[in-house]
């Protein structure tokens, strides 16, 4: 089956920036191979295969030591490809799954033993059909005793509508991609200030400073319009930020980033060695390997 979006960069550059020892790529995916792990019939996009072996080779090439692999919507709630990657990671990967309300306690336990430490709620309408909030609240209550967290994916204009739900979740909450701000608007404008207010008022909420390639209007390689937003989050909430590649960049149609160049953005958003240590090592190790 042909993918309906760009395939990942075949030969990413070697970054000039060297991540600190123990660095973690906290947002990446595995897809298929379709022959073994079919894509969900209800998917909104079809990816190209991106296997665990390719992911682990990229990890080594970029100078990282660990991965956090996030279930993406094209596999639906079938987490087999994710769990397979975790089992074969030699303890160097953790996972964020996607589950339904009928998931059994035994299934949750098996996923936990494989390395799953969270579940993802997707609120981006063009990617998934919204799950009723009462169902998500029930799932959140069930995973909380495992020490799992909830990852939420939404777009900035929807935050006012979702605020009350997000702020009542009983777990640590990690926001994907800075809440997808409109980077044509000012970093000090009301839309992004609302997101900063969310983190300021709720210490259980974290943010990934990821995906400039999805947010940019100015484009690669510098993604200059995205950098101020990421830097503001790192400076303001240094103990609650995470970084990741988003490899293999699913459902991306504008351009395919060079992952080495994405790594080279890190010193621009985390401007001191102390901030980079927290962003790349201390924070992800506390959240994903702290058990």
Which residues are catalytically annotated?
A: 246
Which tokens sit at 82?
Answer: 């994710």
User: Is residue 2 exposed (0-12), middle (13-18) or buried (19+ Cβ within 10 Å)?
Assistant: exposed
> Is 219 in contact with 262 (CB distance < 8 Å)?
no
- Classify 77 as helix, strand or coil: coil
What does the block give as tokens for 109?
């336990």
Any idea which residue has 């996923």 for tokens? Answer: 111
- CA 162 remoteness from chain centre: 19
Which residues does 172 contact at the CB level (< 8 Å), separation at least 6? 149, 150, 204, 205, 206, 287
Compute the distance between CA of residue 98 and CA of residue 79 in angstroms, rounded to an integer. Answer: 7
Parallel/antiparallel/unpaired status of strands 116-122 and 66-70: unpaired
Q: How far apart are the first and last CA of the chain?
A: 40
Q: How far apart are CA 122 and CA 154, in angstroms?
A: 7
């Amino acid at each position: 089956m042909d993918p309906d979006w760009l395939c990942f960069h075949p030969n990413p550059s070697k970054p000039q920036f060297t991540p600190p020892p123990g660095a973690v790529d906290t947002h990446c995916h595995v897809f298929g191979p379709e022959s073994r792990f079919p894509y969900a019939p209800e998917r909104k996009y079809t990816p190209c295969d991106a296997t665990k072996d390719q992911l682990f080779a990229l990890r080594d090439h970029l100078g990282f030591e660990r991965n956090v692999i996030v279930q993406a919507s094209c596999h639906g709630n079938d987490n087999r490809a994710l769990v397979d990657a975790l089992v074969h990671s030699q303890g160097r990967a953790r996972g964020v799954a996607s589950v339904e309300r009928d998931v059994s306690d035994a299934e949750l336990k098996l996923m936990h033993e494989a390395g799953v430490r969270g579940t993802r709620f997707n609120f981006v309408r063009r990617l998934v059909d919204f799950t009723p909030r009462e169902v998500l609240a029930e799932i959140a209550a069930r995973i909380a005793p495992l020490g799992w967290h909830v990852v939420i994916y939404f777009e900035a204009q929807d935050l006012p509508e979702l605020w009350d739900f997000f702020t009542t979740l009983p777990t640590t909450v990690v926001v994907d991609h800075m809440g997808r701000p409109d980077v044509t608007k000012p970093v000090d404008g009301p839309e992004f200030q609302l997101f900063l207010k969310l983190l300021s008022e709720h210490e259980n909420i974290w943010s990934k400073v990821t995906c400039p390639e999805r947010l940019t209007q100015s484009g690669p390689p510098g993604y200059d319009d995205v950098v101020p937003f990421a830097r503001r989050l790192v400076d303001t909430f240094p103990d609650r930020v995470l970084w990741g590649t988003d490899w293999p960049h699913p459902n991306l149609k504008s351009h395919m980033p060079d992952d080495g160049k994405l790594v080279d953005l890190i010193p621009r958003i985390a401007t001191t060695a102390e901030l980079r240590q927290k962003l790349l090592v201390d924070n992800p190790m506390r959240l994903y390997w702290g058990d």
